[in-house]
Amino acid sequence: MTAAERALARHSVDAPGCEHATPIPPASRIGPLLASSVIVPFDVGTRDVPGDVDTQVANLFDRAGRILTAGGAGWDDVARMTFFVTSASSRDVIDRLWTTHFPDPAHRPARMTQIATLPDPMEVQCEFLAVVPS
């Protein structure tokens, strides 16, 4: 395999405290592209889901940040985030942390929020796509 081929080879990104119970990595990277698997609102390092949506959303952003760092990226490298919510009212909670992580309206990533059926007691999940700086 050439150096160029190795640079574009897919590899799993592991983030301590964000492991899946299944054989799926928290993220995968091919060259500069970093794509997360589903990010769940567990407390980091556990499989405990907080009972309130505010803490669940905070956990999503915390876990996403850990995965970005493990993949060599940061919040400025996020191109898109997708949120899966059980209720449209969760958007207000997401927006509070969204504007904290992406304060400049002219430089925010794309975002989609989709109503979904999630395993109880989860109220939110997310995923992201980022481009890692060279």
Q: How confident is the model at residue 83 (pLDDT cuts 50, 70, 90)?
A: very high
- pTM assigned to the model: 0.93
| pLDDT confidence tier of residue 3, bands split at 50, 70 and 90 | confident
Q: So where are the chain's domains? A: 3-131
Question: Does residue 29 carry a pLDDT above 90?
Answer: yes
SS (H, E, C) the chain: CCHHHHHHCEEEECCCCCCCCCCCCCEEEECCEEEECCECCCCCCCCCCCCCHHHHHHHHHHHHHHHHHHCCCCHHHEEEEEEEECCCCHHHHHHHHHHHHCCCHHHCCEEEEEECCCCCCCCEEEEEEEECCC
pLDDT given at position 31: 94
- Euclidean distance between CA atoms 114 and 111, whole angstroms: 10
**CATH placement of domain 3-131:** 3.30.1330.40
Name the one residue in this structure whose structure tokens are 């492991």.
19
> Cα 36 to chain center, whole Å?
6
Q: Is the pLDDT of residue 4 over 90?
A: no
Indicate whether 99 pLDDT > 80: yes
Q: What is the pLDDT of residue 132?
A: 96
Distances (CA, A) of 105 to 100, 102, 108, 110: 11, 7, 6, 11
pLDDT exceeds cutoff 90 at 121: yes
Is it the case that residue 34 has pLDDT exceeding 90?
yes
According to the model, what pLDDT value does residue 134 have? 82
